[in-house]
């Protein structure tokens, strides 16, 4: 049976060493490049016509646009519109990473915590900077619930601080864990199909169901990642 972890192995395709730092172009980097290329091609080509009555491809592009635009409008409000390009890029990058990973023999870059944590850290640092830029030191007020007795401050403030600092971790771990676990399960069950011979029909049926579930999770996790970014952004912009 094939090793279920092997699919996550990073393989350098072009070795690049800059002063002892490994900057090799890996299979992960290749998939990211492909994802960015696909998203750009898809959006540029489908919107080329700019028709008033959209065709098939333009409708598809507009579905993505409206989905993210509505998400920002509902969760952040009109102030959040200027951050649309960032949120949209984030959503498309994660979505295509998850979906490209479902192609057999490809590589899922969102199954690496280095990638998801970098994205989460980008959101976290960005949101914190936006919060301080818009509210100054007043931003720190959100670490103490308004109206709570002052005596509870020594307990509440550390708890709120930890809860704030756990954001990038929960954002990163959620996406990474879901993608990794899903792909391991697929691989393990697929191993049973071969080794059970005739009775492999049973795991094969199960595998079909799990594959459909995985597609659902790929979509759902891209959605969750984006909507949480929106909610965090809302905190920084519309502080109450």
Partner 1 sequence: MKKPERPPSLDDLEARLRAARAGKPEPDGGSRAGPRGNASGLGVAARITVELVVATLVGFGIGWALDRWLGSAPWMMLLFLLLGGAGGVMNAYRAAKGLDDSVGLGAAQRRRRGGADKS
Using CB under 8 A as the binding rule, whether residue 235 contacts partner 1 is answered as yes
Binding flags for partner 1, 135-154, as an x/- string (CB under 8 A): -------xxxxxxx------
Using CB under 8 A as the binding rule, whether residue 114 contacts partner 1 is answered as no
In this chain, which of 166, 201, 205, 208 binds partner 1, going by CB under 8 A?
A: 166
Stretch that binds partner 1, among 18-26, 103-111, 179-187, 227-235 (CB under 8 A): 227-235
In this chain, which of 167, 182, 207, 237 binds partner 1, going by CB under 8 A?
A: 167
User: In the bound complex, what is the minimum distance in angstroms from residue 52's beta carbon to partner 1?
Assistant: 6
- The one-character DSSP state at 102 is T
- Residue 207 in contact with residue 13, Cβ under 8 Å? no
Cα–Cα distance between 111 and 182 in angstroms, integer?
9
Q: What angle, rounded to 10 degrees, do the helices at 153-195 and 201-237 form?
A: 160
In this chain, which of 37, 85, 158, 209 binds partner 1, going by CB under 8 A?
A: 158
Using CB under 8 A as the binding rule, whether residue 160 contacts partner 1 is answered as yes
Using CB under 8 A as the binding rule, whether residue 74 contacts partner 1 is answered as yes
166 vs 195 by CB, closer to partner 1: 166
Handedness of CA 163, 166, 167, 171 (dihedral sign): negative
37 vs 55 by CB, closer to partner 1: 55
User: In the bound complex, what is the minimum distance in angstroms from residue 232's beta carbon to partner 1?
Assistant: 7
Binding flags for partner 1, 52-71, as an x/- string (CB under 8 A): xx-x----------------
For the chain, report the end-to-end CA distance as a whole number of angstroms. 56
Q: How many CB atoms lie within 10 A of CB 109?
A: 28
Using CB under 8 A as the binding rule, whether residue 170 contacts partner 1 is answered as yes
Stretch that binds partner 1, among 83-91, 111-119, 188-196, 221-229 (CB under 8 A): 221-229
Cross-strand pairs, 26? 12
Contacts 24+ apart (CB under 8 A), 168-173: 168/117, 168/120, 168/121, 168/123, 168/124, 169/117, 169/120, 171/116, 171/119, 171/120, 171/123, 171/124, 171/225, 171/228, 171/229, 172/113, 172/116, 172/117, 172/119, 172/120, 172/121, 173/113, 173/116
User: In the bound complex, what is the minimum distance in angstroms from residue 183's beta carbon to partner 1?
Assistant: 17
Structure tokens at 196: 């059970």
The binding site for partner 1 (CB under 8 A) comprises 52-53, 55, 73-75, 77-78, 142-148, 155, 158-160, 162-167, 169-170, 173-174, 177-178, 220-221, 223-224, 227-228, 231-232, 234-235, 240
């Amino acid at each position: 049976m094939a090793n279920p972890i092997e699919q996550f192995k990073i393989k350098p395709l072009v070795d690049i060493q800059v002063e002892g730092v490994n900057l090799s172009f890996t299979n992960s980097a290749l998939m990211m490049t492909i994802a960015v290329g696909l998203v750009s091609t898809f959006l540029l080509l489908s919107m080329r016509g700019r028709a008033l009555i959209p065709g098939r491809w333009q409708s598809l592009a507009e579905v993505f646009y409206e989905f993210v635009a509505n998400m920002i409008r509902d969760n952040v409000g009109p102030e959040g519109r200027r951050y649309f390009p960032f949120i949209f890029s984030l959503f498309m990058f994660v979505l295509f990473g998850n979906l490209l990973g479902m192609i057999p023999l490809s590589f899922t870059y969102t199954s690496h915590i280095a990638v998801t944590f970098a994205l989460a850290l980008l959101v976290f640092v960005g949101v914190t900077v936006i919060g301080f830029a818009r509210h100054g030191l007043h931003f720190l007020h959100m670490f103490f619930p308004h109206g709570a007795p002052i005596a509870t401050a020594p307990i509440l403030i550390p708890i709120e601080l930890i809860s704030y600092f756990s954001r990038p971790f929960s954002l990163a771990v959620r996406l990474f864990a879901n993608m990794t676990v899903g792909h391991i399960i697929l691989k393990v069950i697929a191993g049973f199909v071969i080794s059970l011979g005739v009775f492999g029909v049973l795991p094969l049926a199960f595998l079909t169901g799990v594959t459909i579930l995985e597609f659902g999770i790929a979509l759902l996790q891209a959605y969750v990642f984006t909507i949480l970014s929106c909610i965090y952004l809302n905190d920084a912009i519309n502080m109450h």
